[in-house]
Amino acid sequence: MYRTKNLARYFCTSSAKIKIGPQEFEIPYEIKRSPTDLLKALSAATLKEPDKSAPHFAFIDDPRFIPQSAKQAKEFYITKEYGKRAARHLAMEWPTLFMWDYDEPRIEAFRPIKPLDINEAETNEKNLAELIKTKRVIDAFKMFDGLDKSAKGMRNIDLMTNLFALCAYYNSQDKPITEMDEWHGTRNFMPNLNKNEWQAGQLADHLFDRLEKTEETYSIMISALVKYKEVNRARTLYQEMRSLNMIPREEAYNALVVHSNFNDVIELLKEMNHLGVKPSIATIHACLCSIEYGLKVAAKGKQIAPENAEERIKQVGAFMSEMKRLNLTPTLTTFHLILSCLDQNSCTVLIAANKITKQKQKAVDALNHMLTHLESLNSIEVFADTDRQFFVKALNVAINANNVSLVERIEKLYSSVKNNVKLVPILPGDYELQFITEHQFYQNFLMYKIHACHLSEAGHLYMACVPRYFDVSRRTVNAIFKRIVEYQQTNKDKKVSSYWTLLKRVIDDYQLSGYILYRDSTSTNRLLRTALRQVKTKELSRKDLLDYHKYIKRMIAIFRGQSVSKDKEHRIPMEPSTLIEIALIYMNAGLYNSGAQCITDLTSFMVSNDEHSQKKDSERKSRGSRGISLTGDIPSEEQLEDLFNFILKYKPINKSDIRRFMRLINMYHNSLVDKYRAKIEAAFPNIKKEELDKMTLELDKVKI
């Protein structure tokens, strides 16, 4: 003890003698920063490497509000938005409560301006211009009507033309919900109540009759009529316009091109060139839309020669060359339309003519050039709502071509910081828009990676995407289980740690989603049991082995609970093959008593239903079948072989269980009785031959 105290004192005094010399310290000069520099730095760091373990940015970062299904995602998304709208309404109604603030920079969202009320506002041209700017069609026309009936009257022709364009393009209706820029949830989930057919005799027709017929008014009316499927009247106005030697505007030509056949498109383009109407990228889009529509008509079985279809596809290349000659900058919509024309799925005529392989290569080459161009840009901006369709279409083309490199480039480009074109994060209410959702984009990407890439890579992607980008689906879970089972069977030398974490995660997701209880999940449940049975328990750590026991007990409890459920709709009878699989899972876990109990349960169940089974077996025999299962499921010979190996491994099994196993063989595969009798004689020499003869005699009495 004395030496220990002296030793401690020695080290204390020695350390005290160490002197630290003076260190120079300089106070840095102040760096001038703007009030938002810190926020910008945080935002840049987040965008550079997003946290895949966190929920989507559209949702509140709280564990209680992380959606696990599409329904929850919709509810949480709209609830968050409605909270913002309620706060905005309060700030609008009581603006004085938000006056004394010192925010820097000033946040305009906290000081919303109450929209113009036409019942209180003065009727003048300034307020009318404001209503036109905010696209309030009905209110704008009411104010125009008030101005027109006033003493001064309405004399501003430019303002009247702007009002006419607004009424025409929106079909004499207010701006649709789909154009609400700020409230994304309302835009995507609320139904659009606006009519898609032209409303004759309404505001647009009234203003068109009143205004002077000019090239501008004609062009506006033609574009609006085509937009709302009044194509015949639009062509009549076009002919009337040309008879007056008026030159239609570019937007009028674009509208007519979309709804014209291929030959008429060429004539309209020649006329544009003759009249000096300069085309824009929208004209190229209109031409591509016309070609795409023609190929879709061909895909529906309409008559079109393969040579004509091939000629139209060649014309796509001609339009691309013309776009380059005119120095027109392509957008994502341009690329989407080109891929739609070249995509093999819409070229049914070429498939019939055995020309699809070459066509498929054209689509892949075009996609490769598009991605190279987009990767060279500093940023990818939104020019139209249809731009976002490009990523889903491009991914489908790459997957159909089975090109791993293109698939990965598309996803990398979509998730990059420079891409500002994002898909809708969750399924919208309008089912026509489902093909442009981030949900389906990432689900298709994951499904391809599951089949095309290594299991570990697919597992990391699954954990990053679910439930951040899309919820658990039976299709995804089934693919993961199937991939794990294949990996277990083909990579028996690999360690269990390569897939154990993924298997646990998918089982948890599968159970939480509730799909495990569905009647049509039988095949997925069978894959789950196979994956659990093939886990190498000897390679698991003590903690993982305990987890394995927890998982198998939980899953088996669910399967057993389904067979005795009081709810008849969800009751799924326990099939003999399921009991055998459960017995093999118990064997793999080292729980031999539980496995033996499964055999006892199975054979006891069959003995208790002896008379019923014999009657049913006789009926099945008369139809030429060798055996039946009371639940419609016959165990395979491989399952019975595995079960017999289990019996050999668990020697203390009693004679009654052997007798029941022999009865199990007789019920389902009676031709194997002699084979297994010989195996039992070799494996259990303590069983006398007389006893086996007695067992066989009993089986002969009920033999099918």
Q: Is 163 within the bounds of a domain?
A: no
Tell me how many domains the chain contains: 2
The pLDDT-based confidence of 670 (bands split at 50, 70, 90) is: low
In this prediction, residue 612 carries a pLDDT of: 47
How many angstroms separate the CA atoms of 284 and 282, rounded? Answer: 5
Q: Which of 139-148, 486-495, 498-507, 571-580 comes out lowest in average pLDDT? A: 571-580
Mean pLDDT of the region 599-624? 52
Tell me the pTM. 0.75
Q: Tell me: the pLDDT tens digits for 353-376?
A: 445 567 778 888 889 999 999 999
Q: Tell me: the pLDDT tens digits for 646-664?
A: 666 654 556 666 666 676 6
In this prediction, residue 429 carries a pLDDT of: 46
Average pLDDT, whole number, for the chain?
A: 78
How many angstroms separate the CA atoms of 482 and 474, rounded? Answer: 12
Q: Which of 15-19, 115-119, 152-156 comes out lowest in average pLDDT? A: 15-19
Helices vs. strands in the chain: H and E counts, helices first = 32, 0
Q: Which of 30-39, 53-62, 305-314, 492-501 comes out lowest in average pLDDT? A: 305-314
How many angstroms separate the CA atoms of 486 and 488, rounded? Answer: 5
- DSSP letters for 100-137: S---SS--GGGSPPPPP-TTTS--SHHHHHHHHHTT-H
In this prediction, residue 694 carries a pLDDT of: 66
Residue type, position 610, single letter: D
The pLDDT-based confidence of 701 (bands split at 50, 70, 90) is: very low
Q: Tell me: the pLDDT tens digits for 537-553?
A: 888 999 999 999 999 99
How many angstroms separate the CA atoms of 308 and 321, rounded? Answer: 20
Name the phi and psi angles at 424, rounded to 5. Answer: -65, 130
Q: Is 600 within the bounds of a domain?
A: yes
Q: Tell me: the pLDDT tens digits for 39-71?
A: 888 777 766 666 666 667 777 777 777 777 777
| pLDDT surpassing 80 at residue 142 | yes
Q: Tell me: the pLDDT tens digits for 89-134?
A: 888 888 777 777 677 777 776 677 778 888 888 888 888 899 999 8
CA–centroid distance for 482 within its chain: 20
CB 189 within 8 A of CB 220: no
The pLDDT-based confidence of 432 (bands split at 50, 70, 90) is: very low
How many Å is the Cα radius of gyration of the chain? 37
Q: Is 55 within the bounds of a domain?
A: no
3-class SS of residue 437: strand
CB 477 within 8 A of CB 524: yes
Q: Tell me: the pLDDT tens digits for 440-478?
A: 889 899 999 999 889 999 999 999 888 888 888 889 999
Q: Which of 167-181, 221-235, 497-511 comes out lowest in average pLDDT? A: 167-181
Q: How far is CA 681 from CA 82, 411, 684, in A?
A: 75, 62, 5
- Could you tell me the residue range of the domain that residue 78 belongs to? 66-103
How many angstroms separate the CA atoms of 262 and 223, rounded? Answer: 19
Q: How far is CA 654 from CA 33, 205, 242, 676, in A?
A: 83, 93, 100, 16
The pLDDT-based confidence of 703 (bands split at 50, 70, 90) is: very low
Q: What is the number of residues in the chain?
A: 704
| pLDDT surpassing 80 at residue 332 | yes
Mean pLDDT of the region 580-600? 80
| pLDDT surpassing 90 at residue 222 | yes
CA–centroid distance for 509 within its chain: 17
In 3D space, the residue among 310, 282, 220, 228 whose CA is nearest the CA of residue 272 turns out to be: 282
Q: Is 83 within the bounds of a domain?
A: yes
Peptide bond into 573 cis (omega under 30): no
Q: Identify which has the larger pLDDT, 494 or 14.
A: 494
In this prediction, residue 571 carries a pLDDT of: 60
CA–centroid distance for 368 within its chain: 24
Q: Which of 81-95, 284-298, 399-413, 566-580 has the highest mean pLDDT?
A: 399-413
CB 672 within 8 A of CB 704: no
Q: Is 319 within the bounds of a domain?
A: no
In 3D space, the residue among 600, 576, 534, 586 whose CA is nearest the CA of residue 555 turns out to be: 586
In this prediction, residue 668 carries a pLDDT of: 60
Mean pLDDT of the region 313-317? 80
Q: Which of 168-182, 230-244, 328-342, 446-460 comes out lowest in average pLDDT? A: 168-182
Q: How far is CA 416 from CA 412, 419, 621, 668, in A?
A: 6, 6, 65, 58
Mean pLDDT of the region 571-586? 76
In this prediction, residue 659 carries a pLDDT of: 66
Which residues contact residue 350 at a Cβ distance below 8 angstroms, ignoring those fewer than 6 apart? 306, 309, 310, 313, 344, 356, 359
How many angstroms separate the CA atoms of 640 and 648, rounded? Answer: 12
How many angstroms separate the CA atoms of 269 and 322, rounded? Answer: 12
